[in-house]
Chains A and B, each alone.
Chain A
Amino acid sequence: MSSISSISSSTPVSASRSRRQAALYHLRRNPLVTLGLIAATLWILIAFTSPLIAPFPPLQQDLAKRLQAPNAFFFAGSDELGRDIFSRVLWGSRITIPAGLSVIVIGSTLGVIIGAVAGYAGGLVDEFLMRLTELFMAFPFIILAMAVTAALGPDIRNAVLALSAVWWPRYARILRGLVLEVKSQEYVEAAHSAGASGAYILFRTILPNCIAPAVILATLDIGTAILSFAALSFIGLGPEPSSPEWGRMVSIGIHFFDQWWMWLFPGLAIASLVMAFNFIGDGLRDILDPRLRGE
């Protein structure tokens, strides 16, 4: 595998261009990826523009108009305090999207650093870090995140921190393996003999050559991160109850089972966003793993 990648990276531009063309070709042939890209872009646009496009502020109450089914005034109905569900769902994207992305960025960075240090340092450091990784993987990770959030005190920031704190082990494992592989390459030896420091070699010479798989894994993981965040806030370990956060809205909607619009629309918002990112991630994986490509 490594020999193939080292050959292809040293071949002339035309080869890499044709590879890119092949990737684009498969991307175009997979309509689900396009659909995912459109849906994700749409949600991100909504997140930026919801203060402008939402018909109502997310917290505005109108007790006279509580629990109304979807109609021309409240497109997605109103909740138990007469707040507009449609506006709240739009506003909710401003919580969920940044939360999910933060978990991925913080968690994967942590994993990359831990894995890279373990692989590069070797010996006792490696042994200790890898046992720690195994220990974290022994927990079902959402349950560990629940315990950590409960200990920190429930709010959005703590939910994101707790999820990031349990997110890194898989990244650490993968990175360690890659670093071990790259460590023995000649250009690393060359950097050594040129007198570069350990940190320089690790972060400037080795890491750039093994970061790609971590980026791919991170893309595949965005959907899971969003679902996990929604799960935490569904059980009350996220934002406070009045917040227009989707998981929290579904959770409150349980008490209003017959007013289906109260739980269905925020739930579908989660599902559509997660599905969009999963479509993108799946397409990416199909392109990179030809064995699974549907020929």
Chain B
Amino acid sequence: MSFFRYFVRRLLLVIPILLGITVVAFIIANAIPADPINANLPPNALNDEETIAAFRKKWGLDKPLHEQYLTYLGNLLQGDMGTSIKTRKPVADDISSRLPATIELATLGLVYGTTLGVSMGLISAVWKNSLADYVARVIALIGISFPVFLIALIFLNVFYAQLGIAAGPGRLHPIMRAPPTVTGMFTIDALLNGDWKTFGNALSHLILPALTLALYISAIISRITRSSLLEVLNQDYMRTARAKGLRERYVIGFHGMRNSLIPIVTVIGLSYGNLLVGSILIERIFAYPGIGFYMFRASTSQDFPAIMGVSLLFAFIYVGVNFVVDILYFFLDPRIRIA
């Protein structure tokens, strides 16, 4: 199968899922709350007939349910996710101003987490039942069992408050100014501006939250790497590779890793969902002004339109990431290319 055909075929599968997600979101937003008007408007607007009438008209609340959905979808396609009760601004604007910060954090978390997870799993599998294996497995167990917000608090307390070796809360030191906005990601914007000092400071503020997320996702990645690699290590072709005199490093690194990559890449894609959830649970602790912090504040103050907006966005990102994983299969699994 050519890459183009595979790509298009996978892409066509994504569309019904995205539509399905909007249906689920619509049902949650409109069918579950006893009164959508109550849930979506600020308390002081509930006495204002005009605001209520405008809200009704905009979302088609006086029409039958399927027309309401089409109105909802139409508004969504125009980037309209409603108005936040707390910030009084369109949810879409709130999200787009905070998204770059979270993408920056999640990307770094993914890089750290994958590196940590794959190397721990590799060590565990190759030196099975050694001391290193046990240490790696205990770390994985902590990553799976400790609530990520507790890890965040402990990291912040130990490495920032007690030892003073890591940067504290926020995105930048309070006296520093944000670099001119291009992407909204401080590290990249600072680099584009040639401002190394701001770059270093922004990066140092990312390290603790990114490490927290990394520990959170590396646990599951290292477990899958270990079991996937252990399965491959017992295969006949591994013995053949050794028998023909290949170096152990090459046997494991090439024949071993390559054949165990598919489950590993799959689980990395799935753990992106954990990164997004993790950002909701830790950004408030690090006073990191991204989408996670926004969602945390929305939940604690029952800002319903904002909660729905972020949920929808995260579901879309998650589908997008898993689409990328699907595309990667094409390169990892020769069977797809032959079929």
Residues of A within 8 A of B (CB): 131, 134-136, 138-144, 146-148, 150-154, 223, 227, 230-231, 234-237, 247, 250-251, 253-254, 257-258, 260, 263-264, 267-268, 270-271, 274-275, 278-279, 282, 291-292, 294
Contact = CB atoms under 8 A, between A and B. Distances in A.
A166 to B, nearest CB: 10
A113 B20 CA distance: 22
A291 B285 contact: no
Interface in B178-208: none
Given A135-B20, A151-B304, A264-B150, 16 more contacts: A143-B277, A144-B24, A146-B307, A146-B311, A147-B307, A150-B299, A150-B302, A151-B29, A227-B147, A234-B147, A234-B149, A236-B299, A257-B156, A270-B146, A275-B141, A275-B145
Interface string B307-320: 11011001100110
B227 interface: yes
A217 B144 CA distance: 16
B39 A151 contact: yes
Contacts of B274: 140
Nearest to A141: B273
Interface of B: 17, 20-21, 24-25, 28-29, 32-33, 39, 128-129, 141-142, 144-147, 149-150, 153-154, 156-157, 161, 227, 230-231, 273-274, 276-277, 280-281, 284-285, 295-296, 299-302, 304, 307-308, 310-311, 314-315, 318-319, 322
7 contacts: A150-B299, A236-B301, A247-B147, A250-B147, A271-B142, A275-B146, A282-B141
A235 B285 CA distance: 11
A135 B21 CA distance: 7
Contacts of B273: 140-141, 143
Contact of A134 (B17, B142, B311): B17
A130 to B, nearest CB: 13
A285 B231 CA distance: 16
Nearest to B322: A138
B338 to A, nearest CB: 26
Contact of A278 (B39, B145, B307): B145
A292 B147 contact: no
Contacts of A291: 230-231
A278 B141 contact: yes
B281 A231 contact: yes
B268 to A, nearest CB: 14
Nearest to A247: B147
Contacts of B284: 254
B133 to A, nearest CB: 8
Given A274-B145, A292-B227, A151 B277 contact: no
A267 B144 contact: no
Contacts of B308: 147, 150
A285 to B, nearest CB: 10
The 9 closest A-B pairs by CB, nearest first: A140-B273, A267-B150, A236-B300, A151-B32, A275-B145, A147-B311, A235-B299, A135-B20, A274-B145
B28 A148 contact: yes
Contacts of A152: 32-33
Contacts of A253: 153
A131 to B, nearest CB: 8
Contacts of B146: 267, 270-271, 274-275
B20 A138 contact: yes
A250 B304 contact: no
Contacts of A278: 141, 144-145
B159 to A, nearest CB: 14
Contacts of B307: 146-147, 150
A205 B8 CA distance: 44
B144 A151 contact: no
Contacts of A147: 25, 28, 307-308, 311
Nearest to A273: B145
A269 B108 CA distance: 30
Contact of B318 (A140, A227, A230): A140
Contacts of B295: 146, 235
Nearest to B231: A291
A250 B149 contact: yes
A287 to B, nearest CB: 15
B302 A138 contact: no
A53 to B, nearest CB: 24
A141 B295 CA distance: 16
Contacts of A144: 24, 311, 315
A135 B276 contact: no
Nearest to B292: A235
A267 B153 contact: yes
A144 B280 CA distance: 13
B46 to A, nearest CB: 16
Given A151-B304, A292-B230, A254 B147 contact: no
A57 B284 CA distance: 30
A294 B129 contact: yes
Contacts of A292: 227, 230
Contacts of A151: 28-29, 32-33, 39, 304
B314 A271 contact: no
Contacts of B276: 140, 143
Nearest to A276: B145
